[in-house]
A = this chain, B = another copy of it.
């Protein structure tokens, strides 16, 4: 059901580390991320704002880049352990005729831009500037004082195919979602928790959401309450609720440019290779737990495009149980 994993991968990606988003109004986006999620501004100027969670020592996990229209995702960043992992990565992508290019990226060590086989633009580096963690500076906390970036979810036209690519890079599945023989969702990790990269079937590649952890159940509500009080009440798109896969509490917000960000409480630990991934069988894409209404149609179908990347639809269109469809079916019963 799942593609084979290369447990001794050609280079060592250690974790998802930072995401680059374009935004139409930098001040507005900064307000959302600092006052609702409670991220800390590490550094900023008129065109870019670098943010991190209160537990993070690295310079940035979220980079907001001013752009005319906003609403696109520029890069998903991953860390590799050593500098020479970057060279191995460069060779690996080049050998497969995939884009690979050295770039300068402020506040990061040597940085490599690559793309996976469906065009998802990635950014690899092995070091960043560091700053003191703020996790016990309680008096500086704002909003949900999110702790750290945890993972990304991308939509891909063929989940199995993309899962196989990342499996060859050492990503393992903690859990996965199937319908019959079809892999609909792959919840993949490198860092020893449930997730670094979730791949879900849909027109793609697109960035469906990125996720920050909060420390306690209560902070799921905190994120909502600050959103509501600060004028972002409509941004609460789905939840609060609990996921089946992973089992964590969540809420999804849409930022001022429509980028979707998840706030959730913490995952279990993975690490050991003998543990089998947990399989969830579902007629559709849902990650609903055992209670709660289905997600809105837009939660399934809207996502941030990557700059200048061509998207492709899945061969079999998805027909998830959206809230809209659920209510129609209820009514006709």
Residues from chain B with Cβ under 8 Å of A268 in the complex = 55, 133, 135, 147-148
A320, CB-defined interface residue at 8 Å: no
Contact with B along A191-220 (1 / 0, CB 8 A): 110000000000000000000000111100
Assembly CA distance A217 to B225 (angstroms)? 12
Contact between chains at B225 and A14 (CB < 8 Å): no
Assembly CA distance A30 to B285 (angstroms)? 35
User: Size of chain A's interface in residues, with CB distance under 8 A?
Assistant: 69
Most-contacted residue by chain B among A57, A147, A148, A291 (CB, 10 A): A291
Assembly CA distance A110 to B268 (angstroms)? 25
Copies in the complex: 4
Q: Chain B residue with minimal CB distance to A236?
A: B291
Q: Chain B residue with minimal CB distance to A35?
A: B139
Contact between chains at A227 and B291 (CB < 8 Å): yes
A9, CB-defined interface residue at 8 Å: no
A271, CB-defined interface residue at 8 Å: yes
Contact with B along A7-45 (1 / 0, CB 8 A): 100000011000000000000000000010000000000
Residues of A within 8 A of B (CB): 7, 14-15, 35, 55-58, 79, 81-82, 109, 126-128, 130, 133, 135-139, 143, 147-148, 191-192, 215-218, 221-222, 224-230, 233-236, 240-242, 247, 249, 265-266, 268-269, 271-276, 289-293, 296, 323-324, 327, 331
